[in-house]
Amino acid sequence: MVSRYLMGTFPDLRKFGGADAFLRACKPRVAIELLSDKWSMLVLGALLFGPRRFGELRRMLDGITPKMLTRTLRSLERDGLLTRTVYPTVPMRVEYALTDLGESAAGMLAVITTWGAEHAEEILAARRAYDARPPAGETPVPA
């Protein structure tokens, strides 16, 4: 049952002027969109170990292309979740580190991780069951 927990967090819906107004409001989406691309979550997770250089991240996120790593880092930097520090040495050195906001986002991510750990199997099972269903209109052949 949702009621108690959810009512504590969602009743703000009504303060938005009902469902319609809430549904058009976008702060929750700002939050979700931070995490909804392929690599952001992983970069955030990697940086929880401490500041990391470009090449270090590239190795940790085995499989990411430089292009996507750059894009992901720029996006997170733009949103204030991490800082990018250039040390003009030779060879050059660039370090990425989470900001307070970034760590806060990782906290939200932890909640999602917990929920995922508890329910991912259920979801994947539902998905398998759905995909195994006979196509609509097709009557299962009796034995």
Partner DNA sequence: CAGCATCCTATCTGATACTG
Partner DNA sequence: CAGTATCAGATAGGATGCTG
The residues in 77-106 that bind DNA, with binding defined as CB under 7 A, are 84, 91-94
Q: Which of 13, 42, 53, 83 binds DNA (CB under 7 A)?
A: 53
Is 97 one of the binding residues for its own copies (CB under 8 A)?
A: no
- 51 contacts which partner out of its own copies, DNA, none, CB within 5 to 8 A by kind? none
- Count how many Cα atoms sit within 13 Å of the Cα of residue 84 in the half-sphere of its side chain: 13
Dihedral, CA atoms, 99, 47, 31, 120, nearest 10 degrees?
-150
Is 30 one of the binding residues for DNA (CB under 7 A)?
A: no
Shortest Cβ distance from residue 143 to its own copies (Å)? 26
Distance CA 46, CA 86 (A): 19
For residue 142, the 8-state DSSP code is P
User: What contacts 48, CB < 8 A, 6 or more positions away?
Assistant: 98, 103, 106
Q: Which of 53, 54, 60, 71 binds its own copies (CB under 8 A)?
A: 60
Shortest Cβ distance from residue 79 to DNA (Å)? 13
For residue 134, the 8-state DSSP code is P
Residues in contact with DNA by CB under 7 A are 20, 37-39, 53-56, 63-68, 70-71, 73-74, 84, 91-94
